[in-house]
Structure 1
Amino acid sequence: MSLSLSLACLWVVLASVAAMGPQRWHWMAAWALIATGVPILGGVTYQQGPIWGLVVLAAGMSVLRWPLRRLIQRLHADGRLRDERQDA
């Protein structure tokens, strides 16, 4: 197993440990996981190819689903994801 896949597996374990921690630490842990997950995702994609990159991306999105949902809600509230045809 390559170093990037090993780091991705370690990232998943650390994300699971962070999820079991107190709730007041969840958002700080989520930002730390995002900051470390992006370079790991890039390494996996570079070393293993786009298929494994998509697998790791899907795993990361399933772990960080609440920050992703909040981002989508915020973009909808700001009107950035509105369909432009509705305004006309």
Structure 2
Amino acid sequence: MTLSLFAASLWFVLAAVLASIPSNDQHWRRAYFLIAIGIPIVGWVAYQNGPWIALIILGAGCSFLRWPVYYLWQWFKRNVTQRT
């Protein structure tokens, strides 16, 4: 296992632990933190292991952060598709 995959595994453990702790803001600050850490890790995984493995890691990360991805998709549909 490469160091980047180990870092991605630690990211998943951290995401699971942070999700289990109660929060007043419905975990949004933690989601921003996980996104800020996760994007460079996905880039690192792509560099060391290739784009297909990075896409698998990205998909797994999106399953952990499903609400930020959902709201990003809603924003995209609302703002980008109206202009075309």
Runs of 4+ aligned structure 1 residues displaced above 2 Å come to 74-77, 81-84
Equivalent residue for 1:21? 21
The correspondence of residues 1-88 of structure 1 with structure 2, limited to 5 A, is: 1-24=1-24, 26-77=27-78, 79-82=79-82, 84=84
Higher helix share: 1
Q: Give the deviation of 1:83 after TM superposition.
A: 7.0
Considering Cα pairs closer than 8 Å and 6+ residues apart, tell me whether 1 or 2 has the greater RCO. 2
TM-score, structure 2 as length reference: 0.89
What root-mean-square deviation, in Å, do the aligned CA atoms of Structure 1 and Structure 2 show?
A: 1.5
Task: Give me the TM-score of the superposition, normalised by structure 1.
Answer: 0.85
Q: List per-residue Cα deviations over 1:41-85 (Å, max 9, x = no partner).
A: 0000000011111110110111111001111222333x323372x
The gaps in structure 1 that reach 5 residues or longer are none
SS of match in other structure, 2:36: helix
State the one-letter code of the partner of 2:71: R
